[in-house]
Amino acid sequence: MMVALAGCGSDDGGDRPTLSTPPPSVSLPLNGSYDLVIVPAGACGLPAAPYVLQVDVTSFTTAAGIELRATLPSGGDALTLDMLYPVTGRLQGALSTRTQVPLTATTWLRLRNTGSGIVSLSDDGRAELLNGTMAGEVTFSDEVSALTCTSANHSWSLGAR
């Protein structure tokens, strides 16, 4: 049970992550088991980062185009990772949680973000996304407190497992 709530403040947008040489775009969609890695902006100072969640990823075609959805292996709707491929090899959309998602037995993560990134190939030839940009709120909480940081400089990845 959380006893205190502390704010970590906001990041001023100074250290936005960028790719110095973007990888070539990959048209292969992401599917299967991935690690969702959330890296809060450096100015946030959130403890125990980066945060890693195992997710199941599915890409599918709709009238709007190709979409991607990731869920926790346990199912349910605690995690909302819904992305569109607006152009081949690029993802953009929402990364958020409906509830706190457990990181460990005593720590939790909450997200309210939008993100984008370039799809690349992993060493085993599967599609993945590394070092995407993410803007919004990241909250890390434990049994005592919750720390939230709002920034346009968070980053995220979907690494093939």
Mean pLDDT, the chain, rounded, equals 87
- Residue 17 counted as domain residue: no
- Residue 127 counted as domain residue: yes
Tell me if 103 sits within 8 A of 97, measured CB to CB: no
**Nearest-angstrom CA–CA distance, 40 and 139:** 9
Q: What is the pLDDT of residue 59?
A: 92
Percent of the chain scoring above 70 in pLDDT: 84
- Residue 63 counted as domain residue: yes
pTM: 0.83
- Residue 131 counted as domain residue: yes
**Nearest-angstrom CA–CA distance, 116 and 121:** 16
Residue labelled with tokens 């909450």: 110
Q: What is the DSSP letter of 54?
A: E
Q: What is the pLDDT of residue 11?
A: 52
Q: What is the tens place of the pLDDT at every residue in 41-98?
A: 999 999 999 999 999 999 999 888 889 999 999 888 899 899 999 988 899 999 999 9
- Residue 81 counted as domain residue: yes
HEC sequence for 84-152: EEEECCEEEEEEEECCCEECCCCEEEEEEEEEEEEEEECCCCCEEEEEEEEEEEEEEEECCCEEEEEEE
pLDDT greater than 60 at residue 20: no
Cα distance from N-terminal residue to C-terminal residue, the chain = 32
- Residue 19 counted as domain residue: no
Q: What is the pLDDT of residue 76?
A: 85
Please tell me the total count of domains within the chain: 1
Instruction: Give the residue among 147, 83, 84 at the shortest CA–CA distance from 110.
Output: 147
Query: Which amino acid, residue 117?
Result: G
- Residue 125 counted as domain residue: yes
Q: What is the pLDDT of residue 29?
A: 85
- Residue 18 counted as domain residue: no
Q: What is the pLDDT of residue 40?
A: 97
* Containing structural domain, residue 38: 25-160
